Amino acid sequence: MTTALAAYLLQSTLLLGVGLLLPALLRLRSPEILLRYYHWILPASLAIPLVPLGANTPVSVPTTAVRLGSEWVVLLTSSGEAAVPWAEILMGLYCAGVVLRCSWLVLGLARLSRLRRKASPLRPIPSAVSRMQERVGASAEFKITSNMKSPLTFGWRSPAILLPRTFSAIPQAQQEAVATHELIHVRRRDWCCICIEELLRALLWFHPAVWMVLGRIGLVREQMVDRETIRFTGNRGAYLGALWRFACAEGSAMGRPAPALFRRSHLRSRVALLSKEDSMSGFRVFATVILLIAALTLSAAVAARVFPMEEAASMPSMPVIPDGGAAAEMKADGPEKTAEKPAGKPAEKPRIVHKVLANYPDQAKKEGLSGKVVIELTVAPDGSVKHAAVVRSDHEIFEEPSLDAVRQWRFEPAGNGESRPDIVHEVTIQFRLK
């Protein structure tokens, strides 16, 4: 599980990294196209690693493993201690991170609700604000608060726009620009998108590339609203003046999952885009989309090749053993044999329920020896090993540790109180130095 999770994280990070780099290489600056692109690349990059793009390469497991037939079971480490439950540890850390991020989101929503209750209604509504409500085709509850230094919009069914107390003192043209910006957010229902994005950030809090893409989505969303604001007002200078005014009086929006008019980290990019017109022809848009798809498809194939995910139904044919440990590989060579096999009734393959790791002889470690030992076990009806004998081995030095280990193994009792014969089972124990 940990190996597959690491491969998934590396694959999706590579894909998202390429996805973030491509717009700059292709000089794609249209916020409308970029917003759709990032909204597509984020789920696609997270899902593509789960799609098989070819045969997965087996991945070595950093523990000792036992295979009974086609089933692999993690054994003890070479030190004799139980294997570290990495899956449980990682799951605990993941759940803790999700809880913390979701708690942050809930606290932010609670702060927004409290700000709205304490804020005072904007009375009277400036004519510029009323006029822009009609032009944009959206309406919201305008409120004034002393706890905010930058306009903030949130809410779905009954949206609210919180304005700082300095709003009434700014020029009418800037009031119109600010109101238009916030009303466009209301019309687009951006607050719902932001809540979904924050929930995704909480679920994938450990993924740095996801944070980068979500930050880019926030930027291009604001750039897109900036352009629409200029189109509605036709006054670029007034809008830039409003941005600069609130840049100088920015307040922290930490813990408030809502689109604010201004974020200092976005100022340079937003002003740079507002100061120039950048249009793309239909042919260039089409060519850019084709290049993006081709580049991302190639990146997905490379990611699957470089960082293969372990198949759920398979394990490595030869596990890597840490610190000179031993791997015990159990396999049945043909049908099971029984001491007194009832006619017409096939013997059931025994299922191991307890296993002990064979100690790697110190002399074999010093000499760098490796090999295998084939042992024939006689499994009693109660699941204990009744008899064990070496069939063949590569080195005699491995025989005694192998016999000592398998004699302590236990199998599932052959059951239901019936009288069952002993089962003769052949296993292979592989010794290999890392």
Per-residue pLDDT, averaged over 161-168, amounts to: 89
Q: 337-338 and 385-393 as β-strands: parallel, antiparallel, unpaired? A: unpaired
Per-residue pLDDT, averaged over 249-253, amounts to: 52
Name the residue type at position 199: L
Per-residue pLDDT, averaged over 276-292, amounts to: 72
Instruction: Write the DSSP assignment of 67-112 as a string of letters.
Output: EETTEEEE---TTSSPPP-HHHHHHHHHHHHHHHHHHHHHHHHHHH
The maximal CA–CA distance of the chain, rounded, in angstroms, is 100
pLDDT tens figures, 260-271: 655 656 777 777
Nearest to 308 by CA among 7, 6, 5: 7
Q: Which helix (H) or strand (E) holds 327?
A: strand 327-329
Rounded CA separation 388/401 (Å): 12
For the chain, give every domain's residue range: 2-302, 322-431
Q: Helix or strand or coil: residue 431?
A: strand
- 0.85 surpassed by pTM: no
Radius of gyration, alpha carbons of the chain: 33
pLDDT at 389 over 80: yes
* Order of strands, sheet of 152-154, starting from the edge strand that comes earlier in the sequence: 120-121, 141-145, 160-164, 152-154
Q: Using N-to-C axis directions, what is the helix angle for 2-25 and 208-233, rounded to 10°?
A: 30
pLDDT at 260: 62
pLDDT at 3: 66
Per-residue pLDDT, averaged over 101-111, amounts to: 91
pLDDT tens figures, 318-368: 333 333 444 444 443 444 444 444 444 445 567 788 888 888 888 888 888
**CATH code linked to domain 322-431:** 3.30.2420.10
Q: Which residue has the higher pLDDT, 298 or 182?
A: 182
pLDDT at 291: 84
CA 358 to chain centre: 38
Q: Which residue has the higher pLDDT, 313 or 96?
A: 96
Rounded CA separation 180/55 (Å): 54
Per-residue pLDDT, averaged over 293-319, amounts to: 63
Q: Which of 11-25, 131-145, 316-330 has the lowest mean pLDDT?
A: 316-330
In the numeric block, which tokens belong to residue 202?
A: 């909480």
Nearest to 83 by CA among 94, 69, 72: 72
Band of pLDDT at residue 259, cut at 50, 70 and 90 = low
Supply the mean pLDDT for the chain: 77
Measured in residues, the chain has a length of 434
Q: Which residue has the higher pLDDT, 202 or 27?
A: 202
Contacts of 71 (CB under 8 A, 6+ apart): none
pLDDT at 1: 54
Percent of the chain whose pLDDT exceeds 90: 21
φ, ψ of residue 428 in degrees (nearest 5): -120, 125
Rounded CA separation 412/395 (Å): 31
In the numeric block, which tokens belong to residue 327?
A: 């791997």
Specify whether the CB–CB gap between 390 and 403 falls below 8 A.
yes
Rounded CA separation 157/306 (Å): 47
Per-residue pLDDT, averaged over 92-97, amounts to: 91
Q: Which residues make beta-bridge pairs with 388? A: 377
State the SS3 of 141-195.
EEEEECCCCCCEEECCCCCEEEEEHHHHHCCHHHHHHHHHHHHHHHHHCHHHHHH
Percent of the chain whose pLDDT exceeds 70: 73
Measured CA distances, 257 to 44, 134, 136, 427 (Å): 24, 27, 23, 60
pLDDT at 264: 59
pLDDT at 265: 61
